[in-house]
Each structure stands twice: as C-alpha cells, then as structure tokens.
C-alpha cells in the first residue's frame, strides 16, 4: 500500500488540496479511483494535463516508453498493423490509423513514418475519439494509466481503499466494498483495473470496424489474484518507481497493471474475433519480421542508434517482455 492511515502524512500542493476538497465526499474522503482520476486527468491539476515533459530521458521526465525509440517504433507498429490487415483480407489503404491517448505535445507514433494507411490522426488525452468506418485503433500505455479501484482483504471480506484529507495532508483509509470475490488470503491487495475495461468498452462501442492494437503491461486474472499480494498500483517520478501513491498528486505518474482477461472479454463482447495476446518481442518478430530483418541488414556494419533502439524494443531484458500487445479484428 501507499501511505497507510498510521503513516506520516504526505505534503500536498495547495492547488490539488483545493480541487480535492471540491470533489471529496463526507469526511473529506473519496475512493482511490476518484483520487487517481483527479491526480492524472483533472483539467487544472492533473498530471497528464500539465504542460511539461513526461516521457524520455531529458531533465524533468519521469518515464520512458517504446515511443522513446523515435520513428523506429512507429515503423514496426505500421508494418505489423499492415500485415495483420492483409492477412485478414483487408486493404490497409481503406483504414484510418487512429492513435488514442497520445501525449498533448507529442507528434504521434506515425510522425515521419511511411505507411499504406488511408489516413492517420492522433486523439490527445481528453479529446473524443470519434471512431467510425474502417480503422486501426492503436494505443501505447493507455490502459495502465486509467484509474484503478484498490481493495484489500480484511476479516474474510473485501474493503475498498480510499483517500482522506487529514488537515492539509492525504492519508489512506478503508471503506465498505461491494466486492464479494475472489476469496484471497487475509491482507491480500487486489488493485482492480476496472476503468481500463470501461475505456475498452467505450472505444469498441463506437461504429468502427478494423484492428484493435494495444501495447501495454498487465497480468492475467490468476496472476493478479494469486501472485501480487501487494497490488500492482505504482507511482513514477523522475524515473524512480515508488509505492507512495499519495505523494506529489498531479506531479507524478500513477499506473496499475491491466487485466488481460477482462480486456479480452470486453473485445469479445463487442464483436471482435478471439483476441491474441503476445509479448512485444514476439509480436514484432512475427508481424514485423521483414522490417526488422531489413533494419538489421542495413545497420550490420555499425552499432547505430537504430540498432540500439531495436534492441531496446525487442530484448527480453528491456521492453521486449515487459510489455505485451493485445490485438483483435472485427
């Protein structure tokens, strides 16, 4: 857990305190999922709404993703999506590539990348997706950044973890929970990525057909309920991972592993063919193998930046196994 009810209070900025008070319920308390939504997406103080660098290796950044590899990541994504569409008898030229949840000031994953799609557009955080017709709906680390509902097993029942204002500081508290399952051991934490499922349902409810392609990190339901007794919600600040989820609200990233079983079920309910889950390494090797071979051949004589970026994207000790890819067609 982050700050427990008995731990030292965490200093909070006056701006966030004002927003928290305006949204808090009785006893200046709210569920953690609501706190996480404010900390990440509030128009005034949300982490993803601030005009500041977040991704990369430069000063002030907090984390890096596959997109940090520059155009190479976009090349592989485009090649893989085109191959999947062609294998299903669909023409990429008839599809619009739509990137969901891109950084507010980022260029988009296909910036500077040659591709065969009929068009490409970027949907920024907070913008409506407006999906229709034939599309490739792509996201990179979108679902893990959705608010999670944190629960803990107490006395044979689930309790929901909330956030309470104690003076000018935030502390964790426990609230009644509507959840009856699963039956985990005493003290087990299950950070339920429910908002990620709701987002998938909302995206797939729009009138579009084509390819769903999500790069993210998550676990199966069994892993979440049997192998992660401390939960999976984490904070990232200046490239350092922390369990102190209440520190610096609006200034640090908050994430939670998604449940691949739940996300796959949401796609199936929306009429997609059986979703396929692969590691990032396996996905790119299978779906963008020709592009990878061409890059390796072109860079064979030198240790170039493109070769180093390729290694970072594919190697199991880097991003190749840390991230997974879920894809499905309808």
Domain boundaries along the sequence of the chain: 10-329
At residue 6, the pLDDT reads 41
| DSSP character string of 126-171 | TS-----EEEEEEEES-GGGS--EEEEEETTEEEEEEEEEETTEEE
At residue 2, the pLDDT reads 42
In this predicted structure, which of 16-30, 182-196, 267-281 has the lowest mean pLDDT?
16-30
Q: Round to whole Å and give the CA distance between 300 and 312.
A: 16
pLDDT of 43 over the 60 cut: yes
| CA distances for 181 relative to 146, 151, 156, 190, angstroms | 22, 11, 10, 10
* Phi, psi for residue 241 in degrees, rounded to 5: -85, 145
In this predicted structure, which of 46-50, 296-300, 302-306 has the lowest mean pLDDT?
302-306
Tokens of 189: 């934490």
Please tell us whether the domain made up of 10-329 is placed in CATH 3.30.1360.30: no
Q: Round to whole Å and give the CA distance between 280 and 323.
A: 6
Listed ranges 8-22, 23-37, 302-316; the one with the highest mean pLDDT: 23-37
- Between 64 and 228, the more confident residue is 228
| CB 314 within 8 Å of CB 248 | no
Alpha-carbon torsion 318, 319, 323, 324, what sign? Answer: negative
Whose CA is closest to 276, among 324, 321, 326, 219?
Answer: 326
Q: Round to whole Å and give the CA distance between 261 and 309.
A: 30
In this predicted structure, which of 61-70, 97-106, 265-274, 301-310 has the lowest mean pLDDT?
61-70
Q: Over 59-99, what HEC string results?
A: CCCCECCHHHHCHHHHHHHHHHHHHHHHHCCCCHHHCEEEE
Q: Give the chain's end-to-end CA distance (angstroms, integer).
A: 39
pLDDT of 139 over the 70 cut: yes
Cβ neighbours, 10 Å, residue 276 = 14
At residue 64, the pLDDT reads 53
Report the interhelical angle of 194-205 vs 260-269 (nearest 10°).
20
Task: Considering only CA atoms, give the Rg of the chain.
Answer: 21
Q: Compute the C-alpha angle 32/33/35, nearest 5°.
A: 60
| Confidence (pTM) | 0.90
* CA contacts within 13 A on the Cβ side of 141: 18
* Phi, psi for residue 125 in degrees, rounded to 5: -55, 125
- Residue 220, judged by CB atoms within 10 A of its CB (0-12, 13-18, 19+), counts as middle
- pLDDT tens digits, residue range 46-82? 988 877 665 656 666 645 555 555 689 999 999 999 9
- pLDDT tens digits, residue range 263-295? 999 999 999 999 999 999 999 999 999 999 998
At residue 304, the pLDDT reads 79
pLDDT of 195 over the 70 cut: yes
At residue 63, the pLDDT reads 54
């Amino acid at each position: 857990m982050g700050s427990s009810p008995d731990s030292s209070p965490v200093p909070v900025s006056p701006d966030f305190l004002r927003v928290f008070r305006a949204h808090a319920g009785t006893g200046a308390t709210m569920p953690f999922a609501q706190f996480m939504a404010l900390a990440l997406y509030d128009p005034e103080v949300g982490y993803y709404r601030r005009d500041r660098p977040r991704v990369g290796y430069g000063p002030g950044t907090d984390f890096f993703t596959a997109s940090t590899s520059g155009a190479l990541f976009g090349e592989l994504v485009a090649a893989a999506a085109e191959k999947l569409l062609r294998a299903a008898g669909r023409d990429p030229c008839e599809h619009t590539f739509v990137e969901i949840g891109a950084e507010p000031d980022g260029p988009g994953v296909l910036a500077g990348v040659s591709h065969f799609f009929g068009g490409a557009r970027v949907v920024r955080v907070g913008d409506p997706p407006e999906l229709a017709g034939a599309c490739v709906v792509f996201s990179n680390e979108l679902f893990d950044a959705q608010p999670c509902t944190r629960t803990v097993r107490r006395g044979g029942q689930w309790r929901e973890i909330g956030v309470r204002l104690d003076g000018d500081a935030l502390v964790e508290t426990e609230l009644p929970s509507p959840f009856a399952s699963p039956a985990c051991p005493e003290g087990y934490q299950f950070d339920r990525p429910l908002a990620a499922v709701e987002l998938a349902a909302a995206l797939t409810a729009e009138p579009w057909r084509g390819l769903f392609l999500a790069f993210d990190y998550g676990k199966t339901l069994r892993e979440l309920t049997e192998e992660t007794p401390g939960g999976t919600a984490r904070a990232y600040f200046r490239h350092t991972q922390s369990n102190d989820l209440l520190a610096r609200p609006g200034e640090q990233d908050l994430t939670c592993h998604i449940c691949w079983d739940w996300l796959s079920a949401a796609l199936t309910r929306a009429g997609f063919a059986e979703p396929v889950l692969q590691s990032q390494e396996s996905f790119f090797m299978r779906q963008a193998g020709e592009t990878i071979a061409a890059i390796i051949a072109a860079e064979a004589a030198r240790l170039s930046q493109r070769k180093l970026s390729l290694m970072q994207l594919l190697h199991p000790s880097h991003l190749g196994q840390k991230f997974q890819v879920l894809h499905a067609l309808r």
